[in-house]
Amino acid sequence: MLINLNIKNIALIESLDVEFRKGLNILSGETGAGKSIIIDSLSFVLGKRADKSLIRYGEQSASVTAVFDGVGENTDKLLEKYGIESDDALILKRTMSAEGKNTCFVNSQRVTLGCLKDIAETLADIYGQHENITVLNSVTHLEIIDKYGESQLRELKRRQSELFSEYKNTCNLLSKYGSLNDVNKNIDLLEYQINEIEQADLKDGEEDELISLRRRLNNSQTIISTLNESYNILNGDSDENLLSMLNYMISQLAKISSYDDRIDETLERLDACKIELKDLSALLSDIAESNEFDMQEYEQCQQRLDTIRTLKRKYGNSIEDINDYLTKIREEYDFLSDGEDKVKEYEKQKVLLIKQLYENSYALSQERKTIAAKLANNIQSELKDLGMNSCKFQIEFSDFPMYDDFVPNAGGNDIATFMFSANSGQPLKELSKIISGGELSRFMLALKKIIANLDGISTMVFDEIDTGISGNTAKIVAQKLYDISKDKQVLAITHLPQLASMADNHYLIEKTSYGGNTFTKLAYLNESQRIAELARLIGGRESSEYAIPHAKDMIDYAKSYKNK
């Protein structure tokens, strides 16, 4: 149960730390005092959607911390799943910055908002006006039936889910193969593609080499002409080539070498140059001979490039991509090679699974109808206790489909609708189209009482469950809330004295102003303060001769009811 709630900078609350106790906890206060802020704060720390408008004006962040003890098995399983250490108390904390950034903690371990919400859903259930809208949506009606009959439906729903998973997997496998005709077509296509790529026998880097070769062949005439011209300059037939002129220079210098020792050194270096130039002229001659244009080689090069570019256009942007594609289609070919047998096998399996799903869906539907009838009787009984003696409540199901019209579904094939009539002699109509606000509040209380012990949640919160009711009905609602609180911790916001008088613990929410700011505060009431607050709710002044005694009488009546 919730034992402590600490709120900082939420709406009108600057700082609030409140301890909650077992049993029925009533929160009351003047209209506009900020009762909804307490619920909003609790919803916030339980992971519900919130935006930065929740932050108190002028502050940069807000935070709420909730401490629970005596958590159940479902909570322990989730803590283990998320790797969170359990302790005597479970502490949830959530902060939000002015930029809208959320930070969440469970037992001081930082977690995602989704994790916080998962864990919180096993701890507390908040009933507010939004749930009125939810229960009016027929989509939720089947969920309520399944929750009510969880123990009876568990095995059928588990088998339904498993069968549907097998069915989807089989359908996915069949879609990969397609029909038998598709299998044969795909095999032929893959075989053609594999042969085309394998016969090309592409090599990495081959295209660049071929492009380089073609460029050289295209320019072979220019290359040879330039090489020959360079050779002639070095060592051509003319006496003016470099080597001839160098030989002449060497012979002339040799004649005067005896007159200066430095000329001998120069001659040695010139001899070295002559050797290097001879080597260069020989190299130029070899290069020129190797660059002779070969038409056959050119045509082979161009054909190879055409082959590569055709394959690139079909299978990839590079030789590497084409080879990767080849690996892929080889695997696909191997997969489809026994496709005919596989398709027959999976089609047979699909037919069997549809049959099994139909049978299980039908069994699930029949069990749901049995459970729904019991739930409807219980709800109608609770509604009569709540003063709706003439009401009728039933749960109708859509017709179960014939086999030929059956579409497999993971949750079965039922559509359930809550049907309601508030008065004798009036036909049953869809709940959403006929029920009033006060009737809906009582309906929700009846439903909550029936399913209160089914989900393992220890704390239930009711935000103005008393909407649209008064008088004796309010007294009965108060008794129902107390009945729930014998097994659950209940927090209820109310403006009715009948509900407030039944409190085990009563808290007053007040709004005060000082220093130009407005603040919401919450205080635990002692016996005399409870009487004063009840007197206010009754409508008289605290000192009036009527309101105070009436408040005391209401508390005495509540005590006698509890003692029963």
Residue among 189, 204, 213 at smallest CA distance from 308: 204
Q: Which residue blocks in 338-470 are alpha helix, DSSP H?
A: 339-385, 431-434, 437-451
Strand bridging mode 2-10 / 61-69: antiparallel
Strand locations in 515-556, DSSP E?
A: 517-524
Torsion of CA 508, 39, 380, 156, to 10 degrees: -150
Q: Which residues sit opposite 484 in a β-bridge?
A: none
Cα end-to-end distance, the chain, whole Å: 25
For 10, the token pair is 């939420």
Residue 400, pLDDT score: 95
* The pLDDT of residue 29: 86
pLDDT score recorded for residue 450? 87
Structure tokens at 286: 């070899």
Q: At what angle do helices 527-538 and 547-563 cross, to 10 degrees?
A: 110
CB neighbours (10 Å) of residue 468?
A: 13
Give the model's pLDDT for residue 360. Answer: 97
**What is the DSSP secondary structure assignment for residue 55, as one 8-state letter?**
B
CA distance 148 to 64: 32
Show Cβ contacts of residue 165 under 8 Å, excluding neighbours closer than 6 positions: 410
State the Cα–Cα distance between residues 438 and 441, nearest whole angstrom.
5
Domain ranges of the chain: 198-333
**Residues of the chain under the 50 pLDDT cut:** none
Alpha-helix residue ranges (DSSP H) falling in 459-546: 471-485, 497-501, 527-538
Strand-pair category, 2-10 with 13-19 = antiparallel
- Predicted local distance difference test score (pLDDT) of residue 155: 96
Write down the pLDDT at residue 232.
78
| CA 379/CA 435 separation, integer angstroms | 14
In this prediction the pTM is: 0.66
Q: Are 166 and 353 in contact (CB under 8 A)?
A: yes
CA distance 135 to 119: 23
pLDDT, position 60: 93
pLDDT in tens, 195-209: 999 998 888 888 888
d(CA 309, CA 319): 9
| pLDDT reported for residue 447 | 87
Q: How far apart are CA 171 and CA 168, in angstroms?
A: 5
Q: Quick one: pLDDT at residue 137?
A: 79
Using CA atoms, how far apart are residues 474 and 451, in angstroms rounded to an integer? 21
Residue 376 in tokens? 């409807």
Tell me the C-alpha distance between 539 and 78, whole Å: 47
User: Per residue in 143-189, pLDDT tens?
Assistant: 999 999 999 999 999 999 999 999 999 998 888 766 556 667 778 88
pLDDT at site 246 = 84
What's the sign of the alpha-carbon dihedral 354, 355, 357, 362?
A: positive
